[in-house]
Amino acid sequence: MYMQSRLAVFSGSSNPLLARKVCSYLGVSLGKGIVGRFSDGEVRVEIHENVRGRDVFALQATCCPVNANLVELMVMVDALKRASARRITVVIPYYGYGRQDQKQKPRVSLTARMIADLLVVSGVSRVIVIDLHSEQIEGFFDVPVDHLSAMGVLLQDLRTGLVGDEIVIAPDAGGVERARDFAKQLRADLAIMDNRGGKSSPCSRVVGDVRGRRAIILDDMVDTGKTIARAAEAVKAAGAAIVDAYCVHAVLSGDAVKDLESSPLRALTITDTIPASSGASVSTKIRTVSIAPMLAEVIRRVHCEESVSSLF
68 versus 174: the higher-pLDDT residue is: 68
> Contacts for 203-207 with beta carbons within 8 Å, 24 or more apart?
204/230, 204/231, 204/233, 204/234, 205/234, 205/238, 206/169, 206/234, 206/235, 206/238
**Is the N-terminal amide bond of 16 cis, ω within 30° of 0?**
no
Cβ 271 vs Cβ 286: under 8 Å: no
In the predicted structure, residue 2 carries a pLDDT above the cut 50: no
Whole-angstrom CA distances from 18 to 4, 41, 236 are 19, 25, 35
Cβ 196 vs Cβ 215: under 8 Å: no
Q: What is the pLDDT of residues 137-181, one digit of tens each?
A: 999 999 999 999 999 999 999 998 888 899 999 998 888 999 999
In the predicted structure, residue 282 carries a pLDDT above the cut 90: no
- Statement to judge: residues 139 and 28 lie in one domain: yes
- Statement to judge: residues 284 and 195 lie in one domain: yes
Cβ 251 vs Cβ 280: under 8 Å: no
**What does DSSP assign to residue 85?**
-
- Statement to judge: residues 132 and 227 lie in one domain: no
Q: Which domain holds residue 216?
A: 151-289
In the predicted structure, residue 1 carries a pLDDT above the cut 80: no
Q: What is the mean pLDDT of the chain?
A: 93
Cβ 248 vs Cβ 221: under 8 Å: yes
119: helix, coil or strand? Answer: helix
Which amino acid is present at 297?
E
- Statement to judge: residues 131 and 186 lie in one domain: no
Distance CA 59, CA 57 (A): 6
Instruction: For residue 252, give the CATH number of its domain.
Output: 3.40.50.2020
- Statement to judge: residues 193 and 107 lie in one domain: no
- What is the tally of structural domains in the chain? 2
What is the pTM for the complete model shown? 0.92
Q: What is the mean pLDDT of residues 248-261?
A: 93
- Statement to judge: residues 267 and 298 lie in one domain: no
The pLDDT confidence band at residue 312, using thresholds 50, 70 and 90, is: confident
